[in-house]
Structure 1
Amino acid sequence: MAEYYNTCLLIDDNYIDNFVTSKLLANCNFAQNIVVRQSPAEAIDSLRDGSVKPDVIFLDLRMPVMNGFEFLQAFDKLDIDKNNIKIFILSSSLDPTDIKKSFDNKYITQFIHKPLTKKILDELAP
């Protein structure tokens, strides 16, 4: 089965969540390349230097040092082509403010509550 996307970037500070989500992405052939960054700052550096060129980003919101919304602010300032990058919030947050703030952000395609499932991935296929 062909992959849906070329490169998927997973940004989450939780090692276990990254392990489980990346295995699911691989098993579902969601993307040819799955790149994991455990901090938004590392992800920004990878995007800035061009070492990661994702079609899709799964972004957690609640992370230390730099949260998901701060990542989005830094992402906005990057001098890269953002037009073909889909960003999905992947969070366990039930805070209505987080959900509203996500929907109000021009880069966010969808808010997904953890855990990610095969059914959700099938719905995200282009």
Structure 2
Amino acid sequence: MQNAVLAKVPYGEEGCAEQHDSDLTAVIIDDCRPDLSLQRFALQANGRFKEIVEFNSPVRALEAFATKSLAADLILVDFRMPWMTGPEFILAYERLAASYKPTPHIVLLSAMPGAELKAYEINSRLLLAVCPKPVSLDTIETIVGKIQPDQ
């Protein structure tokens, strides 16, 4: 199942928090299955997402976005992956998403030490935050609090 959509998780799956009046969709892009599971759990626990879509390849995620068969309010993307890095994904996605409404927010996740990560300059109008892995429930709550639907 390499390089494929791993899962689409609609709201209502067991383990979700109470439902909010929201139509938010999240996309998780990470080549590490345990990290994908942890990120999905944190988003489900937040309760504000009607759908969570997972990819283990940034290339496949870009293909889905390019066909406009997928739209997202929030994209969580890993920094280090085979095929392309998180920053490379962000640049490629920006070229695709110039006319997308709503404009998605991207969060770059990294297990790199903070000092090493600061060496990278990532200039993107879509980049909402750079956060350490593993992602916590508090981190997701803070991120989601910054998202305004139809922005």
> 3-12 or 93-102, which moves further after superposition?
93-102
Matches within 5 A, 1:1-126: 1-2=19-20, 6-78=24-96, 80-81=99-100, 84-94=103-113, 96=115, 98-99=117-118, 101=120, 103-124=122-143, 125=145, 126=147
Is contact 1:3–1:29 with CA below 8 Å preserved after alignment?
A: no
- Equivalent-residue separation in structure 2 for 1:5 and 1:97 (angstroms): 36
Q: Cα 1:82–1:112, aligned 2, differ >3 Å: closer, same or farther?
A: farther
Q: Cα 1:82–1:89, aligned 2, differ >3 Å: closer, same or farther?
A: farther
TM (normalized to structure 2)?
A: 0.73
Computing the radius of gyration over CA atoms, which structure comes out larger, 1 or 2?
Answer: 2
Deviation at 1:103, TM superposition (A): 4.9
Is contact 2:26–2:49 with CA below 8 Å preserved after alignment?
A: yes
- Equivalent-residue separation in structure 1 for 2:21 and 2:33 (angstroms): 24
- In structure 2, what residue type is equivalent to 1:110? A
- Equivalent-residue separation in structure 2 for 1:48 and 1:92 (angstroms): 28
Q: CA RMSD in A?
A: 2.1
- In structure 2, what residue type is equivalent to 1:105? S
TM (normalized to structure 1)?
A: 0.86
Deviation at 1:101, TM superposition (A): 3.1
- Counting matched residue pairs gives 126
- Unaligned regions of 5+ residues in structure 2, if any? 1-18
- Equivalent-residue separation in structure 1 for 2:22 and 2:142 (angstroms): 11
